[in-house]
Every structure is written in structure tokens, then in C-alpha cells.
Amino acid sequence: MSKPSIAPYFPFRRIKIINQTVTPGATGAQIEVQPDKRYQPICHGCGQKASGVHSWTRRKVRDLNLATSRLWINCRYRKVFCAQCQGILIEDLEFFHPYLRVTTRLARYIYHLCQFMTLSEVAQHMGLDWKTVKAIDKFYLERNYGQPDLKGLRILAVDEISIRKGQRYLTGRVLFVGKNRKAKTLKRFFNKLSISQHKSIDAVAMDMWDPFIKAVKDKLPRAEIVFDLFHVVANFNRVIDKVRNHEYRKASKEDKAVYKGTKYLLLRNRKNIRRQSHRQQLKELLALNQVINTVMILKEKLKHIWTYRSRTWTAKALDQWCSLAQSLNHRSVNTFVRMLERYRYGLISHCEYPIHTG
């Protein structure tokens, strides 16, 4: 009958286990390992066989927990001469990185946790310093995304991000992150591309932000600019709120009770209003005020413009929308109409390139 062994839990071929200790209560464990001399030492920098051994040293690295025990590996290893790197480097034992104080498999586990938890939450969960967790997360982010693949670019999306507690953003293929919403920020990315890459880009989705528009027109003169539906509707939601405030001030004292608490009801999509009391209040408000009822109809018609696939029909729908909006003769609505007319080229482009920044 074979003796029980923990060796299968440490499938690192270049080391061998020489000792193990467990703390009282089995809250922690320590494994003593050293290089397996059946293997010639290799350089961690280039992966080539070392030309000689310079010295011996030790390092204590954290590993994945063994059941409920926090596990450390106390490793004795060599510093070697490397003819290829022309220097003294540590040998590669294939289970820890020279700049991280954890095993490779624990580092990967921590990196995956960081995609769903904050640094401090991961640090508390693993019993590690948050700076250690941050260093691991940064190492893998730089390795995986430090050099983005810029080949085969045809469609781009440009958007700003908001970093605050409780908000998360899922993105597609991230190519560039820059600071400030300025034309020169976006141009820094375009300057990384070759002339042939500039010519290969067909369309860029963005919001109606003049610095970004300028950067695209300067650097990608043949690319179509496509304005994002979400940003246009978000701008019109602000118009709706101004209209609501204006109509509230004009309303009688008895009618003002209907207006109260309707700000976010007007901004939400109808299908997302599920409470019967909210649906009833919105119905009463729209029946009470013709102007607000009209801007809500305009909001739905505005979204519909992005469903067309013909430039002619898109332009016709946009003109009809602007004509209906101007019939209200409301200052905020008229300002929004003038903005749409100024940027109509990017609204019409969507029929040929149905893309968005999401």
C-alpha cells in the first residue's frame, strides 16, 4: 500500500518537496522545496540553459490555500550566470515570477477575482496586503492589454468613461485609453496608426462632441462619423426635464401635485415602468399637459430614426421630426433641433453603419 503524499498537489516539475510543517489548528502550512537537480537550471529572462551557478538564496511565496490552511512555499533556489542575457539572473523553477511574492497559479486566481471584486475585497479574502494584489492585477493587465492589436481595424467607437463607486463598464476590444476629452487625446491614438490603417477605417461611432469630431476629420478624412443613439436620447432627456420644469411653473396649484415625482418617470422607457401607481401617474400627467405629451411622442420618434437603412428615408424622418418639434415653439426644444440639424450627417450615417459606442 502506497504512503499518502501531498506531492500531487504541487505539480511543479523543477522542484521537489523536502519537508512540510502545519501550524496548530491547521490554519497555516509551510512547504520546504528545492530545485530538482535532474534538471539543468535555466535563466528566467530568456529561458536558455544557464552557463553556471552564481549563488544560492531563499524566497517565501504564498500559494493557493490547501483546504482551509493558508499555504506558503519556502523555496531554496539559485542565481545563475546567463551568457544570452550577459548577466546574473535567478533560475526559472516554473512556479513563481521573480517580481511577485506568490506562486503563478495563485497570481492567476487573484487576477480573475479582481475582475469581479475590488482590490481591498480580494486582499481581505486572501489575507494579503492590497498593494500585493494591486501589483498582481497590474502585471496581468499590462501583459494582456499593454500592447493592443491594431491589425484589421475598420470600425471604431469613441466614448468617455466614468470611474466611480458602484459603476462597472463592459467594453469590447480596448485599443487606447487617454486622459481628457480633447482632440489631441484622440489624435495621440491615430498617430499610432499607419497611413494605410487610416485609409482602412470606414466608420467611427461617438457622441456629438466637437473635439472628437475634429480629431476624426483631421486624421481620418474618409471615415464616416456615426452619432450614438444613447447619447442623443440622453441629450433629449435633459430637454424633457427642462420642459417639465417649465410646465410645472405654469401649472395651477391643484395640478402641481400630478407633476411631483415624475422627473424620472419621464426619463425611463415605458416598458421599464412596472409599478401600477407610477404608470397611472404618468398617464394622468400626459393627459393633463399636451406639451409634455408631445415631447414624449418626440422621444419615441427620435429613437425610430436609428432603425432606417436608407439615407433618403433617414433624412426624411429626421426632417419630419424637426418640423414636429419646432411646432411646439419651446426654446429648449428649438435649441435641440438646431443641434440635430448641425450634426445631421452623423445621424444619417447610421443607416449605412448601424454601430454604437456600447
* pLDDT (tens digit per residue) in 213-235: 999 999 998 999 999 899 999 99
Q: What is the pLDDT of residues 340-351, one digit of tens each?
A: 999 999 999 999
Mean pLDDT (whole number) for 257-283: 77
pLDDT at 168 exceeding the cut of 70: no
Mean pLDDT (whole number) for 328-338: 93
Residue 64 belongs to some domain of the structure: yes
d(CA 177, CA 186): 9
| Residue 267, CA atoms < 13 Å, CB-side half-sphere | 14
Given a contact cutoff of 8 angstroms between Cβ atoms, the answer to whether 106 and 96 are in contact is no
* Judgement on whether residues 250 and 339 belong to the same structural domain of the protein: yes
Given a contact cutoff of 8 angstroms between Cβ atoms, the answer to whether 157 and 226 are in contact is no
pLDDT-derived band of residue 277, with 50, 70 and 90 as boundaries? confident
* Judgement on whether residues 107 and 83 belong to the same structural domain of the protein: no
pLDDT at 14 exceeding the cut of 60: yes
pLDDT-derived band of residue 211, with 50, 70 and 90 as boundaries? very high
pLDDT at 170: 47
DSSP states of 302-350 as a string?
HHHGGG---HHHHHHHHHHHHHHHHTT--HHHHHHHHHHHHTHHHHHGG
What grid cell was written down for 90? 535567478
* Number of domain units in the chain: 4
* Judgement on whether residues 82 and 187 belong to the same structural domain of the protein: no
pLDDT at 164 exceeding the cut of 70: no
How many residues in total does the chain contain?
A: 358
3-state helix, strand, coil in the chain (%, to 5): 45, 20, 35
Q: Is 25 helix (H, G, I), strand (E, B) or coil?
A: helix
Burial string for 7-42 (b: 16+ CB within 10 Å, else e) reads eeebebebbebeeeeeeeeeebbbbebbbeeeeebb
* Judgement on whether residues 106 and 93 belong to the same structural domain of the protein: no
What grid cell was written down for 55? 549563488
Given 89, 111, 146, the domain boundary residue is: 146
Match 450627417 to its residue by C-alpha cell: 345
* Judgement on whether residues 87 and 132 belong to the same structural domain of the protein: no
| Residue 98, CA atoms < 13 Å, CB-side half-sphere | 12
pLDDT at 162: 59
Given 227, 249, 271, the domain boundary residue is: 227
Residue 5 belongs to some domain of the structure: no
Residue 2 belongs to some domain of the structure: no
Per the prediction, the chain carries an average pLDDT of: 87
Residue 201 belongs to some domain of the structure: yes
d(CA 243, CA 239): 6
pLDDT-derived band of residue 175, with 50, 70 and 90 as boundaries? confident
pLDDT at 237 exceeding the cut of 70: yes
* Judgement on whether residues 235 and 223 belong to the same structural domain of the protein: no
Q: What are phi and psi of 57, to 5 degrees?
A: -150, 180
pLDDT at 1: 47
Residue 167 belongs to some domain of the structure: no
3-state secondary structure 65-118: EECCEEEEEEEEEEEEEECCCCEEEEECCCCECCCCCEEHHHHHHHHHHHCCCC
Q: Is the C-alpha dihedral spanning 338, 339, 340, 342 positive or negative? A: positive
pLDDT at 196 exceeding the cut of 80: yes
% of the chain surpassing 90 pLDDT = 44
Q: Is the C-alpha dihedral spanning 175, 181, 186, 188 positive or negative? A: negative
Mean pLDDT (whole number) for 129-135: 92
pLDDT at 40 exceeding the cut of 70: yes
What grid cell was written down for 292? 409634455
% of the chain surpassing 70 pLDDT = 96
Residue 83: give the domain boundaries.
10-98
What grid cell was written down for 88? 546574473
* Judgement on whether residues 310 and 217 belong to the same structural domain of the protein: no
Residue 358 belongs to some domain of the structure: no
Longest dimension (CA), the chain: 93
pLDDT at 160 exceeding the cut of 60: yes
Rounded to two decimals, what is the model's pTM?
0.63
* Judgement on whether residues 79 and 106 belong to the same structural domain of the protein: no
* Judgement on whether residues 274 and 314 belong to the same structural domain of the protein: yes
Given a contact cutoff of 8 angstroms between Cβ atoms, the answer to whether 52 and 79 are in contact is no
pLDDT at 173 exceeding the cut of 90: no
Residue 357 belongs to some domain of the structure: no
* Judgement on whether residues 320 and 247 belong to the same structural domain of the protein: yes
Q: What is the pLDDT of residues 97-110, one digit of tens each?
A: 877 789 999 999 99
pLDDT at 151: 83
Bridge-based pairing of strands 87-90 and 28-35 is unpaired
Given 98, 120, 136, the domain boundary residue is: 98
